[in-house]
């Protein structure tokens, strides 16, 4: 039986190598919360809460995650006994929503358990691949020429798939420009829900105009809960519609399947509340013949390593957002840093747990806020000191 008796949180800010723009905002740095848990035998596990600082991708923020984790999730986990990471979530089952916060704690339980057992995380999750094909996500740029420069740089680095962020007014022209310059490139677009549902039915919609661009998929064109608009668009175009923000739990995927709202699924550990529900979504999609890929939230090395392990599962047949961390950060929080070699990332089957050592000295030096919780043997969950 596992029992977490101590936990620490670190709010860490890392500057981005290059500013990143989506349909909702622009960012020059990322603040994520790293979760360190320790069991009664001294084994350690790490997780990452990769929520955005502001409520743009989802309702959660760094501040809400910090509060929920310190006041609700960890107090319920500390002192509770569990045999498998899948069971750990029972400790915080009463907490609704707050998937980003849950994801970091769930991830920490998985890496604690696999590290203590001497088992690679990928193996415990059900992975099979020794390497994962990586894609890159490129932001909205000031000009099409600037975008083409970025695409060329990453194609030269060997990445086989490029995802372009789009928004109303930045869609058909940049996509056609990239397609003309790179006719064979595996390309897809991501709107992060920026288009109104009416665009699903408009024959002059930019989303329909992109149907002849040879895209792998159009990702999350509409607001997260607007499954019907996604279904109408999918019925009217050949390009697969991919859902991201719409699918928070497996039941959402069942709804999307019933409505015909998607033909591809982006699985994000953070969005779905951890590795446990991410594996469940992978399995459900597989039963319905829906290919999946692993999306990212510009994770630091802890979350990125977990994404690599998840992407080794058999249903992840499309390139995942697990590009090398040097694309985003000049120095990462894990050793060795995660690197891509000609568009592929190695799965560390020879190292137990996360597969990378956390640079704890660097984490502590970079932390702008910390918290420490503990429980003594014999105390009940919720009696943290």
Angle (deg, nearest 10), helices 99-117 and 275-287: 100
DSSP helix, strand, coil percent of the chain (3-state; round to 5): 35, 25, 40
Task: Give tens-digit pLDDT for 58-86.
Answer: 889 999 999 999 999 999 999 999 999 99
Q: Where residue 376 falls among pLDDT bands split at 50, 70, 90? A: low
Distance in angstroms (rounded) separating the CA atoms of residues 30 and 250: 28
**Strand pairing category for 26-39 and 367-374:** unpaired
pLDDT given for residue 109 in this prediction = 98
Q: Which residue has the tokens 């916060």?
A: 101
Distance in angstroms (rounded) separating the CA atoms of residues 93 and 193: 29
Residue 252: in which H helix or E strand, if any?
helix 250-259
Distance in angstroms (rounded) separating the CA atoms of residues 320 and 244: 13
Comparing 330 with 244, the larger pLDDT belongs to 244
Q: Which fold has domain 2-118+361-374?
A: Enolase-like; domain 1 (3.30.390)
Residue 270 pLDDT more than 80? Answer: yes
Closest CA to 262 of 297, 292, 305: 292
Angle (deg, nearest 10), helices 275-287 and 250-259: 30
pLDDT given for residue 180 in this prediction = 97
Kindly give, in sequence order, each residue whose CB lies less than 8 Å from that of residue 131, ignoring residues fewer than 6 positions away: 344, 345, 346, 347
pLDDT given for residue 375 in this prediction = 83
pLDDT given for residue 385 in this prediction = 38
pLDDT given for residue 27 in this prediction = 66
Residue 247 pLDDT more than 80? Answer: yes
Phi-psi region of 248 (alpha: psi -120 to 50; beta: other; left: phi over 0): alpha
Peptide bond preceding 128 in cis form (omega within 30 of 0): no
CA distances in angstroms from 190 to 316, 339, 364, listed in the order given: 18, 24, 35
Closest CA to 191 of 160, 222, 217: 222
* Residue 50 DSSP SS3: coil
pLDDT given for residue 383 in this prediction = 44
Q: Give residue limits of the domains in the chain.
A: 2-118+361-374, 123-357
Residue 380 pLDDT more than 60? Answer: no
Percent of the chain with pLDDT over 70: 95
Distance in angstroms (rounded) separating the CA atoms of residues 219 and 207: 10
Q: Which residues pair with residue 221 across a beta bridge?
A: none
CB atoms within 10 A of CB 139: 16
Residue 322 pLDDT more than 60? Answer: yes
Question: CB-hemisphere CA count at 13 Å for 13?
Answer: 8
Task: Give tens-digit pLDDT for 17-42.
Answer: 776 666 555 667 789 999 999 999 99
Asked if residues 121 and 309 have their Cβ atoms less than 8 Å apart, the reply is yes
Comparing 376 with 118, the larger pLDDT belongs to 118
- Residues noted as catalytic: 165, 268
Q: What sign does the CA torsion over 96, 100, 101, 106 have?
A: positive
* Residue 234 DSSP SS3: helix
Per the prediction, the chain carries an average pLDDT of 93
pTM of the predicted model over 0.75: yes
* Residue 57 DSSP SS3: coil
Q: Which residue has the tokens 């991830």?
A: 107
Range 225-235 average pLDDT: 98
Superfamily of domain 123-357: Enolase-like C-terminal domain (3.20.20.120)
Range 304-330 average pLDDT: 93
């Amino acid at each position: 039986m596992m029992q977490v008796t101590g936990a620490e949180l670190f709010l860490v800010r890392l500057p981005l190598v290059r500013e990143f723009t989506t349909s909702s905002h622009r960012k020059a740095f990322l603040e994520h919360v790293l979760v360190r848990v320790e069991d009664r035998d001294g084994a350690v596990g790490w997780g990452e809460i990769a929520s955005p600082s502001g409520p743009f991708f989802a309702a959660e923020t760094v501040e809400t995650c910090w509060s929920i984790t310190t006041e609700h999730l960890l107090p319920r986990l500390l002192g509770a006994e569990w045999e498998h990471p899948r069971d750990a979530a029972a400790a915080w089952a009463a907490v609704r929503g707050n998937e980003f916060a849950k994801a970091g704690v769930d991830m920490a339980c998985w890496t604690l358990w696999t590290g203590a057992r001497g088992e690679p995380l990928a193996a415990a999750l059900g992975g099979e691949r020794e390497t994962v094909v990586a894609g890159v996500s490129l932001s909205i740029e000031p000009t099409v020429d600037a975008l083409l420069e970025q695409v060329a740089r990453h194609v030269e680095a060997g990445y086989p798939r490029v995802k372009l962020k789009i928004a109303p007014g930045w869609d058909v022209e940049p996509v056609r420009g990239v397609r003309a310059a790179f006719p064979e490139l595996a390309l897809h677009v991501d709107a992060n829900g920026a288009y109104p549902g009416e665009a699903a039915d408009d024959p002059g919609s930019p989303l329909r105009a992109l149907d002849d661009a040879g895209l792998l998929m159009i990702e999350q064109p509409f607001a997260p809960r607007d499954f019907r608009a996604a279904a109408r668009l999918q019925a009217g175009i050949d390009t697969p519609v991919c859902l991201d923000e719409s699918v928070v739990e497996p039941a959402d995927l069942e709804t999307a399947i019933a409505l015909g709202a998607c033909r591809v699924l982006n699985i994000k550990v953070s969005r779905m509340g951890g590795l446990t529900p991410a594996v469940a979504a992978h399995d459900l999609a597989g039963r319905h013949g829906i290919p999946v890929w692993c999306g990212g939230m510009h994770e630091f090395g802890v979350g990125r390593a977990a994404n690599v392990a998840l992407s080794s599962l058999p249903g992840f047949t499309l390139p995942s957002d697990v590009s090398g961390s040097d694309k985003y950060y000049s120095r990462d929080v894990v050793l060795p840093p995660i690197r891509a070699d000609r568009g592929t990332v190695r799965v560390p089957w020879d190292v137990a747990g996360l597969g990378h050592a956390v640079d704890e000295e660097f984490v502590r030096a970079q932390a702008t806020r910390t918290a420490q919780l503990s429980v003594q043997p014999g105390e009940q969950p919720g009696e943290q000191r």
